Amino acid sequence: MHLNTIAPAPGATKDAKRVGRGIGSGNGKTCGRGHKGQKSRSGGSIKRGFEGGQMPLQRRLPKVGFSSRKSSSTTEIRLDVLQNLGLESVDLLALKSAGVVSENILRVKVVASGVITSAVTIKGLSATAGAQKAIKAAGGKVVE
């Protein structure tokens, strides 16, 4: 086998359709485009979603919802997870090294779910009002 002998399998390729080359070709005169109209003319393409001047579907329907770009890099941590870590000081790096949050997380918020009894210092993490109250009641503190 040599490079100059490589060819597509028989029947895999078709000859190009040559239109507008006379009446005998079978595709002369209007070249398979029919008579008149936007689609018969050169450059006459219709944009996707165009409905002939009628208000298009994507404009008739209401806009719904919102998806925050921050949500993919933000997560929540419960108080009982902090309790189970057994650390005195908790920050984002400590949570990542403990395997509690994944590596692509940039923001963590502590939520008041579960019970915390040990004193924990939270550094660089946001916390809800209820979580801050529970952490301070356990003898810890929140440093933002």
Under a CB-based contact definition with an 8 Å cutoff, are residues 127 and 91 in contact? no
Per-residue pLDDT at 109: 95
Which domains can be identified in the chain, with CATH numbers? 73-143 (3.100.10.10)
For the record, the structure tokens of 4 come out as 């100059």
pTM: 0.56
> Using DSSP, how many helices (H) and how many strands (E) does the chain show?
4, 6
What mean pLDDT do residues 110-123 have? 92
Band of pLDDT at residue 94, cut at 50, 70 and 90: very high
- CA–CA distance, 66 with 97 (Å, rounded to integer): 32
- CA–CA distance, 114 with 71 (Å, rounded to integer): 23
In one-letter notation, the amino acid at residue 135 is I
Residue 94, H or E segment: helix 92-97
